Amino acid sequence: MLKVQEIRELIKLIDQSNIDEFCYESNGTKVSMKKEQGQVVSEPVKVQESVQAQAPSQDQENEPVKKEVQDQAEPEEAGKNEQKEANYDAEVTSPMVGTFYQSPSPDQEAYVQVGDQVKEDSVVCIVEAMKLFNEIEAEVSGEIVEILAEDGELVEYGQPLFRVKSK
């Protein structure tokens, strides 16, 4: 069965591509995605008779839940952004989808901590994508005021990783 992270990556790839429909089947599990009105709709369905009969009702139940989760998340994020605006001038964002690592290896210290001074060419983290470890530079000089991603967390393209108060 596909992991949630793998499904998220598939959804993102389908959304960014020209593909309108995608279907994947493995080990008795079927994932079908279809773009509707510029959005990706995901329909994970197990290939069994009892589950196939329930598939339409699952879709109807899942849609309101997705909307509720999105509606709840947006006001919280807006409130956080308003509170943090005074504390930073810039954000270091992920240039790709991948796994965020704060240090070059598990037994070494993190590249940066809250309160550390960075320069434009300072390496602040690593993002692993397809077994390639990409060093991410700050691209701004200043002080790290917040680390937004956790070690080993899946990050998306454009996702803020650090907040920096420039000099």
CA–CA dist 24, 43 (Å, integer) = 11
Helices then strands, counting H and E runs in the chain, come out as: 2, 11
CB distance 160 to 144 below 8 Å: no
Q: What's the confidence (pLDDT) of residue 68?
A: 46
CB distance 126 to 104 below 8 Å: yes
Of 76, 126, 119, the C-alpha closest to 101 is 126
Q: What's the confidence (pLDDT) of residue 124?
A: 94
CA–CA dist 10, 22 (Å, integer) = 9
Mean pLDDT of 86-111: 89
Radius of gyration over every alpha carbon of the chain, rounded to an integer in angstroms = 20
Tokens of 122: 């300072």
Q: What's the confidence (pLDDT) of residue 50?
A: 41
Residue 40 has pLDDT above 60, yes or no: no
Mean pLDDT of 92-119: 92
Tokens of 95: 């240039």
Q: Which CATH class is domain 88-166?
A: mainly beta
CA–CA dist 10, 42 (Å, integer) = 10
**DSSP 3-state helix, strand, coil percentages of the chain (rounded to 5)?**
30, 35, 35
Phi, psi for 16 (deg, rounded to 5): -85, -10
Residue 77 has pLDDT above 80, yes or no: no
Please state whether the predicted TM-score (pTM) of the whole model is above 0.75: no
Q: What's the confidence (pLDDT) of residue 37?
A: 58
Looking at mean pLDDT, say which of 27-36, 43-52, 107-116 comes out highest: 107-116
Q: Which amino acid is at 12?
A: K
Provide CATH 2.40.50.100 ranges for the chain. 88-166
**Weakest mean pLDDT among 18-22, 59-63, 158-162:** 59-63
Residue 134 has pLDDT above 60, yes or no: yes
Average pLDDT, the chain: 75
Residue 32 has pLDDT above 60, yes or no: yes
Instruction: Give 44's pLDDT tier (boundaries 50, 70, 90).
Output: low
